[in-house]
Amino acid sequence: MPRPRNERQALEEERDVELPAQLAKYRRDLDATPRRDKTRREVIEWQIRFAEKRMVDVLARLASLEGC
């Protein structure tokens, strides 16, 4: 798939496609990981938090581009 032509398109693609797919995968992984495997669950929970924070950042950057 060709890369987006500008920053706005890249951020929109990340917001609409990449991050939701990552979050869905991480949540499936978390559901499939036994509760007794605390270390693995902590890693997956960290990945979820990181992706959620990235989503907030992407939304903020898109909002700032709206003001331009």
What pLDDT does residue 50 have? Answer: 98
| Calpha distance 55→32 (Å, rounded) | 24
**Class of residue 6 by CB neighbours under 10 A (exposed 0-12, middle 13-18, buried 19+):** exposed
Give the position of tokens 């909002």. Answer: 63
| Calpha distance 15→59 (Å, rounded) | 7
User: Whole-prediction pTM value?
Assistant: 0.87
Give the position of tokens 């924070």. Answer: 53
Q: Model confidence over 5-50: pLDDT tens digits? A: 899 999 999 999 999 999 999 999 999 999 999 999 999 999 999 9
Structure tokens of 16? 């609409």
